[in-house]
Amino acid sequence: MTEAAYARSSRMALSVTNVEALARPQLVARKVAELADRDPQLIVTGDEDVARLLERPGFARFGRAVVIDEHSRPVGLISITHVQRALRAPRLVEHTSSAAA
């Protein structure tokens, strides 16, 4: 896949609403790129602050974003679940440590 194709593909998100709007025969005949939402708010670099990510309306709407590297290539996904777990982990460790004491 070319870098241009990576850039285009990393700016798309497929929503349940887009899929539910189509009947089964339509789904078989369609490609993912035709249904994908191309929202630049769904792209984040690895060094962006989590607080800024949470402020993005696109992230709030989809609950996930594509993480890209310095060459705009996708390297992973970040979801609201990842953020929640990261915020909860220190509290769980603290609770476990105090319960063991």
Model confidence over 60-95: pLDDT tens digits? 988 999 999 999 999 999 999 999 999 888 766 666
Q: Out of 3.30.420.10, 3.30.1600.10, 3.10.580.10, 3.40.50.1820, select the CATH number for domain 3-100.
A: 3.10.580.10
d(CA 9, CA 6): 5
Global pTM reads 0.60
List, for residues 25-57, the tens digit of each pLDDT value: 766 677 777 767 778 889 999 999 999 999 999
Joined tokens for residue 91:
């509290």
CB 95 within 8 A of CB 66: no
Q: Residue 39 has what pLDDT? A: 85
Amino acid at 67: V
Tokens representing 51 are 């607080």
Q: How many CB atoms lie within 10 A of CB 57?
A: 9
